């Protein structure tokens, strides 16, 4: 893997490149993204193919790659912000110019299907990228505070607490609650993203580097048996025991579907986390939720299960 490189910090008035590297988008989502960007005191430049539709993708592979490359090359653009995840980012990986991206390092922020880009750019460009809201997300005080602290305010150490709003929501929706399977503190490189995408890349040249990492995973709209399959695949490929810690975010709408018999999400995750001797937790403020934190891929951090915090041990931007 190339030596780690950090993008320049985000500054007031900077220009954000708005693209759709995965699923197709809509005029309504674009309007929301524009409002989000302007509310942060930033300018926007829309990708040439932002409004393209090719099946359920936002244009062909060639069009989506062209928009991503163009934003990295554009000297006016400081941050690249996908409008949504969806599906299709995995198809871009073999077509990206990683040397070009490394020569023009910029902030890339997003979650869900964007996880494919995060893992590939970490492995082949050595670029620190950011797992956090997409441009059309509903930004809350919590998500905005921790996003801007990580992107715009480089500090040698920054502690991210879990969302109190999520804790309140856990009173009526138990999967929003934090469950510690193995207590402790551990340090390592932040690594991970959407579970199905991290599992899909296992065994490929773009696989997540699990060894010694604080591995974080999240999922949405998937039945427990699929969660079990992907967790098993990932464990067989990389070995959860080789990580420094394992953190599972809030997996929204991942209960049993129409199966006559099914394990719950909690029991399914427990099958994989409970046997571990490394710190292992579920219910952290990561995933397809409004109150989500922003985590820089490739940056050293410490998980503390007693304090329920993730502390960045270095600045993620230059």
Residue 21 CA to its chain's centroid (Å): 14
Residue 78, number of CB atoms within 10 A of its CB: 21
Helix (H) or strand (E) holding 187: strand 185-194
Rg (CA), the chain: 18
Residue 235 φ then ψ, to 5°: -65, -40
Tokens representing residue 73 in the block:
């090359």
Provide φ and ψ at 45, rounded to 5°. -130, 120
Q: How far apart are CA 28 and CA 26, in angstroms?
A: 5
Residue 301: strand pairing partners = 188, 312
Global pTM exceeds 0.95: yes
CA distances from 104 to 73, 129, 140 (A): 6, 13, 30
**CB neighbour class for 184 (10 Å; exposed up to 12, middle 13-18, buried from 19):** middle
| pLDDT for the residue 309 | 98
Nearest to 157, CA basis, from 311, 1, 306: 311
Q: To which residue do tokens 């006559």 refer?
A: 260
Residues annotated catalytic, as ranges: 112, 218, 288
Using DSSP bridges, classify how beta strands 129-131 and 295-297 pair: parallel, antiparallel or unpaired: antiparallel
Q: What are phi and psi of 304, to 5 degrees?
A: -125, 105
Alpha helices for 202-252 (secondary structure H): 224-238
Q: CA triplet 120, 238, 212: central angle to 5 degrees? A: 80
Cβ neighbours for 317, distance < 8 A, ≥ 6 positions apart: 6, 7, 8, 9, 10, 107, 128, 150, 151, 152, 154
Closest residue by Cα to residue 193 from 275, 266, 89, 91 = 89
| pLDDT (tens place) for every residue of the chain, 318 residues total | 789 999 999 999 999 999 999 999 999 999 999 999 999 999 999 999 999 999 999 999 999 999 999 999 999 999 999 999 999 999 999 999 999 999 999 999 999 999 999 999 999 999 999 999 999 999 999 999 999 999 999 999 999 999 999 999 999 999 999 999 999 999 999 999 999 999 999 999 999 999 999 999 999 999 999 999 999 999 999 999 999 999 999 999 998 877 678 999 999 999 999 999 999 999 999 999 999 999 999 999 999 999 999 999 999 999
């Amino acid at each position: 893997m190339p030596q780690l490189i950090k993008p320049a910090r985000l500054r007031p008035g900077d220009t954000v490149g708005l693209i759709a590297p995965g699923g197709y988008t809509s005029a309504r989502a674009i309007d929301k993204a524009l409002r989000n960007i302007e509310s942060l005191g930033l300018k926007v430049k829309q990708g040439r193919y932002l409004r393209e539709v090719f099946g359920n993708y936002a244009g062909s592979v060639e069009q989506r790659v062209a928009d991503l490359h163009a934003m990295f090359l554009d000297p006016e653009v400081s941050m690249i912000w996908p409008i949504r995840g969806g599906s299709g980012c995995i198809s871009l990986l073999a077509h990206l110019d990683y040397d070009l991206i490394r020569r023009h390092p910029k902030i890339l922020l997003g979650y869900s299907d964007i996880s494919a880009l995060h893992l590939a750019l970490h492995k082949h460009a050595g670029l620190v990228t950011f797992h956090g809201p997409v441009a059309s997300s509903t930004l809350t005080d919590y998500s905005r505070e921790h996003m801007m602290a990580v992107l715009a305010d480089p500090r040698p150490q920054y502690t991210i607490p879990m969302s109190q709003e999520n804790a309140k929501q856990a009173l009526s929706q138990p999967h929003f609650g934090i469950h510690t399977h193995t207590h402790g503190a551990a340090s390592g490189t932040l690594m991970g993203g959407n579970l199905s995408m991290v599992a899909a890349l296992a065994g490929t040249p773009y696989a997540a580097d699990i060894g010694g990492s604080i591995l974080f995973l999240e999922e949405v709209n998937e039945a427990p048996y699929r969660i079990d399959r992907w967790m098993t695949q990932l464990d067989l490929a990389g070995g959860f025991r080789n990580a420094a810690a394992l953190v599972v975010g809030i997996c929204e709408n991942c209960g049993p579907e129409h199966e006559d018999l099914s394990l719950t999400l909690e029991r399914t995750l427990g099958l994989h986390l409970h046997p571990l001797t490394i710190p292992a937790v579920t219910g952290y403020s990561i995933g397809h939720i409004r109150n989500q934190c922003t985590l820089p891929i490739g940056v050293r951090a410490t998980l503390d299960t007693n304090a329920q915090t993730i502390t960045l041990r270095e600045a993620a931007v230059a």
